[in-house]
Structure 1
Amino acid sequence: MTSHLNRSLIKNLDLFKSLPDADLDAVLQTAQVCRLAAGDAAFRQGEIADRFFVLLHGHLKVVQVTAEGEQVVVRYVNPGDVFGIARAMRRPDYPASTIAVHESLALAWPSSEWDQFTATNPHFASNALQTVGQRLQDAHTRIQELSTEEVEQRVARAILRLVDQSGQQTPEGILIDFPITRQDIAEMTGTTLHTVSRLMSAWKDRGLVTSGRKRIVVCAIDDLIRLAEGPHTPATRSAGINAEST
């Protein structure tokens, strides 16, 4: 029940920081706790979009099955993200499935609350709009990468995006802080498990990464950035990771 939820946990999320306690209580009145074990789905592709969510803890992957039956990992959901917002795009159903990669906790609200949410919480509305815009931009970027880039460059870019989102500094290097498989990477980049395995093994031999079962650590971030930027391009981007951010 939502009465067991620690209010300070919700209030400290960026989505709700601007809400006074009275408004926060009103938000929580219609919320439900959604606990997901690894492999559980918050919702499945094609189901009626009757709820929207905010992730409190854990990580989820958004998976879409194409008309040809191929599975694509669209993106990952991180703590503090709003997801399942088909209502914001005026869709009656969910365009993809959202699955926990490890134990996760979210809050869920009926989709019928969406308009009230956005009307009474401008900060939430602005964040949701930015989320939709970012996802459209990400979709355009992925299409461009698939059309113009070699596989090694695409895989490097995908891993760097995960580092930016969920990288954690460790003595080994920068750990992607949730379970992820080579098959997941293949489904993110439009290639095969065999190709990703071959690349990761070559990168391991070169000291760029280490990887194991559902675990990837980037050991040479600058070298990976050079691969992502393409041949003969200086590594000018930042990895987005420092001691303070982890």
Structure 2
Amino acid sequence: MVTTNVIRLHEDLETSPLFSGLAERQVSEVISRGHRRVVPGGGTLFNCGEPADQFFLVVEGAVKLFRAMSNGHVVVVRIIRPGEPFAACSVVGRPDATYPVTARAWMDVTVLAWSRGTMSSELRRLPTLQYNLLQLVSQYQDQTVDRLCESSTQPVAQRLAHCLLRLADQASIPTTDGLQLRDPLTRQELAEFCGTTLHTVSRLLAQWERDGLVRVGRCRVTLASTKRLQLLSMQ
């Protein structure tokens, strides 16, 4: 029997690429075998190095995946948004796999979680689900390589421009001043996204605001000139 909660979750997740090509009944079956979890902003879903025993899918909100380095620096690997899965290492990695990053709620977040055994069974039962997950893992890997190349070869200004454009593409609101990033964002978080320091990000944003490229408010960034930022990202 399909419960009301499953129907609502199905409606929220019907466009998730994880479920592409699956029949509605199959999607409902997979959803019904997971459990819903709500985590307040700043809460931790798992820590780097812990046993990878759960697979997740974001329903609402966003999750930040990051690695805290021994020198105190934090490297943000990815922001996971509604409809996107994460922690695939729990089902496609070794049996003794551990999480390679920490997952923290970037804001209040609702996720679906499946145990390793449950999702592994679903992947064996539904080849299309397995194919979709492998496609997403490959896509994430390509994007991670792109960001690694950026951080290794590009100056900070170029990386910051790339970062702002990428965040705007993921979630932004058109305003009279330009494209406002939908999610609250501190300068420290931008520094972590770009692999640089708070001082450098603050200096660049101040200069860009004077030049009319961005508008910066309290935890809010608006891209006033995406064309100029695109040119800057290609220099």
Give 1:74's match in structure 2, choosing from 64, 77, 96: 77
After TM superposition, give the deviation of residue 135 of structure 1 in Å. Answer: 2.4
Farther off after superposition, 86-95 or 69-78: 86-95
Could you tell me how far 1:19 is from its partner in structure 2?
A: 3.2
Residue 4 of structure 1 aligns with which residue?
Answer: 5
Cα distance per residue 1:138-160 (max 9 Å; x no partner) = 23222222222111111111111
Partner of 2:205: 200
Q: Is the 8 A contact 2:56 2:85 kept in 1?
A: yes
Shift of 1:21: 4.1
Structure 1's unaligned 5+ residue stretches are 231-246
**Matched-pair identity in %:** 33
Distance 2:196 2:118 in 1: 40
CA contact (8 A) 1:30 1:110 kept: no
Q: Does 1:47 align with 2:50?
A: yes
RMSD: 1.9
Asked if 2 retains the 8 angstrom alpha-carbon contact of 1:74 and 1:188, the reply is yes
Change (3 A) 1:21 1:151: closer
- Structure 2 counterpart of 1:186: 191
- Aligned equivalents of 1:27 and 1:223: distance in 2? 45
Matching residue of 2:166: 161
Q: Report if aligned partners of 2:75, 2:193 keep a CA contact under 8 Å in 1.
A: yes
Asked if 1:60 is matched to 2:63, the reply is: yes
Q: Is 1:122–2:127 an aligned residue pair?
A: yes
Preserved CA contact (<8 Å) 2:20 2:132: no
Deviates more, 1:108-117 or 1:30-39: 108-117
Provide TM-score, normalisation by structure 1: 0.85
Question: Aligned partners of 1:219, 1:227: CA distance in 2, in Å?
Answer: 14
* 152-161 vs 142-151, which moves further: 142-151
Cα deviation, residue 17, structure 1: 5.0
Is the 8 Å Cα contact of residues 43 and 105 (structure 2) preserved in structure 1?
yes
Q: Report the Cα offset of residue 16 of structure 1.
A: 2.6
Q: Deviations over 1:212-242 (max 9, x none)?
A: 2221111100000011001xxxxxxxxxxxx
SS in 1 for 2:104: strand
Gap regions ≥5 residues in structure 2? none
CA contact (8 A) 2:15 2:83 kept: no
Which piece of structure 1 moves more, 92-101 or 140-149? 140-149
Matched, 1:85 2:88: yes
Of the three residues 19, 23, 36, the one matched with 2:22 is: 19
Q: Secondary structure at the match of 1:34?
A: strand
Aligned residues: 229
Match of 1:15, SS state, is helix
Counterpart contact for 2:22–2:129, Cα < 8 Å: no
User: In structure 2, which of residues 111, 118, 125 is the aligned counterpart of residue 113 of structure 1?
Assistant: 118
Normalization by structure 2: what TM-score? 0.89
Query: Which of 134, 146, 157 is matched with 1:141 structurally?
Result: 146
Tell me: CA distance 1:116–1:217, structure 2 relative to 1, closer, same or farther (3 Å): same
Is the deviation greater in 20-29 or in 124-133?
Answer: 20-29
**Does the Cα contact within 8 Å between 1:60 and 1:78 map onto a contact in 2?**
yes
Whole-angstrom CA distance in 2 between matches of 1:158 and 1:56: 24
How far apart, CA to CA, are the structure 2 residues paired with 1:46 and 1:199?
Answer: 35
Partners in 1 of 2:127 and 2:216 — Cα distance?
Answer: 42
Amino acid at match of 1:184: E
User: Judging changes above 3 Å, is the alpha-carbon distance between structure 1 residues 34 and 181 closer, same or farther for their aligned structure 2 residues?
Assistant: same
